[in-house]
Amino acid sequence: MRENKPGVLLTNLGTPDAPNTAAVKRYLKQFLSDPRVVDTPRWLWWLILNGIVLPFRAPRVSKSYTSVWMDGGSPLMVYSKQQLEALTARVDMPVELGMSYGNPCLQSAVTRLMIQGVTRMIVLPLYPQFSCSTVAAVWDGLYRAFKMTRTLPDIEFIRDYAEHPAYIAALKASVERFFVVHGKPDLLVFSYHGIPQRFANEGDDYPQRCSDTTILLQKALGLRDDQIIMTFQSRFGCEPWLQPYTDKTIQTLVKNGIKHVQVIAPGFAADCLETLEEISVQNREFFLRSGGEKFEYIPALNANTEHIDMMVQLVNGRS
């Protein structure tokens, strides 16, 4: 009889191996070459990517990575490893970490699980809100990982967890702890990573999943509609992305009487360049330069206890 041995594959976007231009260029080339991320016709995008984007973007992004780099690697890698270790200690099954881009890659993580005899793989992409550009890219990576194998495990794929009670509870606990230390702001900004508006028009339900999380967390915190706003950050390229844009919004808040703002990024399971540099540094400067008095970023859930509790619930419910 075939053995039932579950194992967990944790996945996230990925990170450069080092904060230098060469490493960042390698990472960006892999990331931005994925049609799930940029779907411009391949021949045209190859010319743009290699002739314009990488030569100019890689040096600038490497400076940003240098500003947030930690002992042990990039913030995303450091916190992802902490999540891996914490979840491994809490569940009675193998757990491995694989990134869609960069190292450790999905292929290596899948191989490690299969070597351990896993016959049922529980795949947990650490993207709370589904998007074709993130979660579906993990699905593609799994296909490539198993394309040439002679056997397949059963696969339990967790599409997202935007409304999961334990996820909302973890966010609530994090925000309330922050309020105790820093006070309640005039406005709490929910900033999610953006996607092209066209993706949503073509069927990606990511905006709705972001809204689902926002509504539930707002209710859990007991905040009025005028005390929160949902925005989208990190746009890339020239076409319209989901709006309102975080940076543009931040620069207009003072005109509406907002002097104290806090930003939470519920779509990020681990702090990374987009939260620690884009939000906590760039958007802080935008707000203070426009006349704001107090700007604070509420850290991602990272490896805090409530976040790991949620992961345990998600994977044990399928083990």
Render pLDDT for 198-235 as a digit per residue (tens, 0 to 9).
Answer: 999 999 999 999 999 999 999 999 999 999 999 999 99
Distances 251 to 98, 122, 244, 269, 290 between C-alpha atoms, Å: 37, 42, 12, 26, 6
- Which of 258, 200, 267 has the alpha carbon at shortest distance from 234? 267
As a whole number of Å, the end-to-end CA separation of the chain is 18
- Which of 22, 70, 90 has the alpha carbon at shortest distance from 270? 70
Helices and strands (DSSP H and E) totals, the chain: 13, 8
Strand ordering across the sheet containing 294-298: 228-233, 187-193, 260-264, 294-298
Neighbours of 293 (CB within 10 A): 12
**Contact (Cβ atoms closer than 8 angstroms) between residue 15 and residue 77:** yes
Mean pLDDT of 27-49: 96
Topology (CATH level 3) of domain 165-298? Rossmann fold (3.40.50)
Query: What are the φ/ψ torsions at residue 102 (nearest 5 degrees)?
Result: 80, -160
Render pLDDT for 259-270 as a digit per residue (tens, 0 to 9).
Answer: 999 999 999 999
pLDDT at 171 (0 to 100): 98
Tokens of 189: 């900004």
Identify the band that residue 102 occupies on the pLDDT scale cut at 50, 70 and 90.
very high
Q: Using the predicted structure, report yes or no on whether residue 136 has a pLDDT greater than 90.
A: yes
Mean pLDDT of 42-68: 97
* DSSP class per residue in 5-56: -EEEEEEEEEE-SSSSHHHHHHHHHHHHT-TTT--S-HHHHHHHIIIIIHHH
Identify the band that residue 317 occupies on the pLDDT scale cut at 50, 70 and 90.
confident
Residue linked to tokens 């490896």 = 303
- Which of 197, 267, 273 has the alpha carbon at shortest distance from 235? 197
pLDDT at 319 (0 to 100): 57
Identify the band that residue 318 occupies on the pLDDT scale cut at 50, 70 and 90.
confident
Identify the band that residue 119 occupies on the pLDDT scale cut at 50, 70 and 90.
very high
pLDDT at 182 (0 to 100): 97
pLDDT at 3 (0 to 100): 82
Domain spans of the chain, in order of start = 165-298
| Single pTM value for the model | 0.96
**Contact (Cβ atoms closer than 8 angstroms) between residue 126 and residue 90:** no
Summary mean pLDDT of the chain: 97
Render pLDDT for 58-74 as a digit per residue (tens, 0 to 9).
Answer: 999 999 999 999 999 99
Beta bridge partners of 15: 102
Is the previous residue joined to 104 through a cis bond, with omega within 30 degrees of 0?
A: yes
